[in-house]
C-alpha cells in the first residue's frame, strides 16, 4: 500500500468512526428534547441550529485548514464532537440543547472540509475518483450506521448513556486522528490570492450550485417521501424498505462511479447528468392527493 | 425508480467531489470543500424546510415537481459553467 493510499484509507477510517459517533445523536436529540418538555417547534430550532452552524462555518473553517493545516481542523472537529456529546446529557432545556447541538455543528464544519481536502491532497494521479468514492462510502455508511447505533444504545442504556457512548466514539476517532501523521497544507502566504481565484472560478461555482440544487431534491425526498408513502397507504415498514433500497443503491454506486471517472477523466457529465436524472426521477414520485394530515 | 434515484445521486456526489478537487490547487482546496459542505447543508435545509408550506398549500405533485425543477435548473447552470473546463478531471494540482 502506497503512502497516498494509506492516507486516503486513514481519512476514510476516521470519517467513518467520527460520523458514526456523531450521527448517533441524530435520532436521540429530538426524542430526548421532547422527553424533557421541549415542543415540536423547539425541536425544529435545535436541529436547525445544528445544520445552520455546520453550513455557515464550513467555508471559514475550510479556509482555516488551508492556512493552518488539515490536521488541526480534523482533530478539533472530532474533539468538539466528543465534548458536545458529553454535554448533551447535562442540559434539558430547549435553549440549552440548541446551544450544545449547534456547537456540535461546528465540529462537523471543522472536520468535513479538511477531510475532503485531505483526500484530494493525497489522491494519486488518475485515482481521485476512487479516492472520493471510498471517502463518500465511509461518510454515508456512517450516516446510515450512526443513527441505528444511537437508537440501539438508547434502548439498552437510556438517552444519557447513549450520548456518552457517542462521546466515547468521537474520542476514539480523536485519538486515532492524533496517532495518524498528516501532511501540512500550504503556507498561509499564498492563501489570500488563491481565495480570490476561487471566487472567480466558474468550475467551483458549478460544483457548488449543482451540489446545492442536488441536495435540495434529496431534502425533499428524505423529508416528504415518508408522508407521500403514508398518504398512498404504504406501511412504515414499506417506507423503511424504500429508504433501505435508496441507501444501498446510493452507496453501492459510488465506487463504480469513481472508477468510471478515473477511466474517462471526466466528472462534470456525471455530476450534471446524475443531478438532472435525479431531478427527473423525483417527478415520478408524484401523486396528486394532498397529504392527509394537511388536508382538513 | 428508487434504485435508479439512489444510483444517479450517489454517482453525482462522487463526481462533484472530484470536480471540485480538480478545480483548485492544494492551497485553496479547503475553502472549496468548505463551500461544497455549505452547499450540501443549505440544499438539505431548504429542501426540508421550504417545501413543507408548498406541499401543504398545493399538494405533493407541485412540491415534488418544484423540487425537480430547482434540481434541473441547478444542473443546467452548472453544465453551462462547466463548458469552460472541457477536461475537468486533471492531475490534482499541488501548487
pLDDT digit string, tens, across residues B18-38: 889 888 888 889 999 999 999
By CA distance, what is A133's nearest residue in B? B14
| Contact call for residues A146 and A20 (beta carbons, < 8 A) | yes
- Region A247-256: mean pLDDT is 86
- Region A84-96: mean pLDDT is 94
d(CA B26, CA B10): 25
For A187, the grid coordinates are 503556507
Q: Work out whether the CA dihedral B63, B43, A267, B7 comes out positive or negative.
A: negative
The per-residue pLDDT of chain A, averaged, comes to: 85
The per-residue pLDDT of chain B, averaged, comes to: 82
SS3 content of chain A, % helix, strand, coil (to 5): 85, 0, 15
Among candidates A261, A268, A281 on the partner chain, residue whose Cβ is nearest the Cβ of B82: A268
Looking at the complex, does the CB of residue B53 fall below 8 Å from at least one CB of chain A? no
- Region A53-77: mean pLDDT is 94
- Spell out which residues of chain B touch residue A201, defining contact as CB-CB under 8 Å: 23-24
For B11, the grid coordinates are 454517482
d(CA A242, CA A259): 27
- Spell out which residues of chain B touch residue A22, defining contact as CB-CB under 8 Å: none
d(CA A229, CA A141): 24
Q: Work out whether the CA dihedral B83, B89, B90, B95 comes out positive or negative.
A: positive
Among candidate residues A22, A8, A4, A6, the one with its CA nearest the CA of residue A172: A22
Chain A closest-CA separation from residue B54 CA (Å): 11
| Contact call for residues A261 and B14 (beta carbons, < 8 A) | yes
- Region A160-170: mean pLDDT is 96
User: Band of the pLDDT at A292, cuts 50, 70, 90?
Assistant: very low
Interface probe, candidates B69, B78, B79, chain A, greatest A C-beta count within 10 A: B78
- Spell out which residues of chain A touch residue B72, defining contact as CB-CB under 8 Å: 275-276, 279-280
Whether the per-residue pLDDT at B10 is higher than 90: the answer is no
Among candidates A60, A109, A212 on the partner chain, residue whose Cβ is nearest the Cβ of B39: A212
By CA distance, what is A136's nearest residue in B? B14
User: Band of the pLDDT at A170, cuts 50, 70, 90?
Assistant: very high
Counting residues of chain A whose pLDDT is more than 70, the rounded percentage is 88
Decide which of B38 and A143 is more confident.
B38
The distance in angstroms from the start CA to the end CA of chain B is: 43
By CA distance, what is A114's nearest residue in B? B30
| Contact call for residues B89 and A123 (beta carbons, < 8 A) | no
Residue A249: CB atoms within 10 Å: 18
Interface probe, candidates A54, A111, A119, A216, chain B, greatest B C-beta count within 10 A: A216
Q: How far is CA B18 from the centre of its chain?
A: 12
For A67, the grid coordinates are 492556512
pLDDT tens for A257-286 read: 889 888 888 877 777 777 766 766 666 665
**In this complex, do A194 and B28 lie within 8 Å of one another by their Cβ atoms?**
yes
pLDDT on residue A294 = 42
pLDDT on residue A192 = 59
Coil, strand or helix: which one is A47? helix
pLDDT tens for B39-49 read: 998 888 888 77
For A59, the grid coordinates are 467555508
d(CA A94, CA A104): 15
Amino acid at each position: 500500500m502506497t503512502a497516498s493510499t494509506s492516507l486516503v484509507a486513514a481519512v476514510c477510517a476516521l470519517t467513518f468512526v467520527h460520523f458514526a459517533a456523531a450521527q448517533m445523536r441524530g435520532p436521540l436529540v429530538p426524542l430526548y428534547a421532547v422527553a424533557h418538555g421541549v415542543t415540536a417547534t423547539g425541536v425544529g430550532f435545535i436541529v436547525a441550529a445544528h445544520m445552520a452552524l455546520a453550513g455557515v462555518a464550513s467555508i471559514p473553517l475550510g479556509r482555516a485548514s488551508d492556512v493552518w493545516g488539515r490536521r488541526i481542523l480534523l482533530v478539533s472537529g472530532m474533539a468538539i464532537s466528543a465534548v458536545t456529546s458529553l454535554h448533551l446529557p447535562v442540559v434539558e432545556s430547549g435553549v440549552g440543547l440548541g446551544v450544545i447541538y449547534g456547537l456540535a455543528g461546528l465540529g462537523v464544519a471543522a472536520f468535513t472540509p479538511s477531510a475532503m481536502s485531505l483526500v484530494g491532497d493525497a489522491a494519486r494521479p488518475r485515482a481521485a475518483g476512487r479516492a472520493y468514492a471510498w471517502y463518500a462510502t465511509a461518510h454515508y455508511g456512517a450516516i446510515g450506521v450512526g443513527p441505528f447505533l444511537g437508537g440501539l444504545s438508547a434502548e439498552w442504556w437510556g438517552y444519557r448513556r447513549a450520548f456518552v457512548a457517542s462521546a466515547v466514539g468521537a474520542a476514539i476517532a480523536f485519538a486515532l486522528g492524533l496517532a495518524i501523521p498528516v501532511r501540512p497544507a500550504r503556507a498561509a502566504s499564498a492563501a489570500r490570492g488563491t481565495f480570490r481565484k476561487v471566487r472567480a472560478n466558474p468550475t467551483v461555482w458549478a460544483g457548488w450550485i449543482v451540489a446545492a440544487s442536488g441536495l435540495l431534491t434529496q431534502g425533499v425526498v428524505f423529508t416528504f417521501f415518508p408522508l407521500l408513502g403514508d398518504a398512498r397507504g404504504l406501511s412504515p415498514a414499506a417506507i423503511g424498505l424504500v429508504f433501505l433500497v435508496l441507501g444501498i443503491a446510493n452507496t453501492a454506486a459510488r465506487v463504480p462511479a469513481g472508477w468510471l471517472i478515473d477511466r474517462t477523466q471526466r466528472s462534470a457529465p456525471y455530476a450534471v447528468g446524475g443531478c438532472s436524472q435525479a431531478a427527473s426521477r423525483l417527478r415520478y414520485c408524484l401523486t396528486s392527493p394532498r397529504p392527509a394530515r394537511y388536508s382538513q | 425508480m428508487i434504485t435508479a434515484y439512489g444510483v444517479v445521486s450517489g454517482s453525482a456526489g462522487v463526481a462533484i467531489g472530484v470536480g471540485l478537487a480538480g478545480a483548485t490547487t492544494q492551497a485553496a482546496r479547503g475553502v472549496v470543500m468548505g463551500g461544497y459542505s455549505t452547499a450540501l447543508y443549505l440544499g438539505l435545509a431548504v429542501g426540508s424546510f421550504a417545501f413543507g408550506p408548498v406541499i401543504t398549500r398545493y399538494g405533493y405533485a407541485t412540491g415534488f415537481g418544484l423540487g425537480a425543477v430547482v434540481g434541473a435548473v441547478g444542473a443546467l447552470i452548472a453544465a453551462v459553467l462547466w463548458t469552460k473546463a472541457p477536461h475537468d478531471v486533471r492531475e490534482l494540482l499541488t501548487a
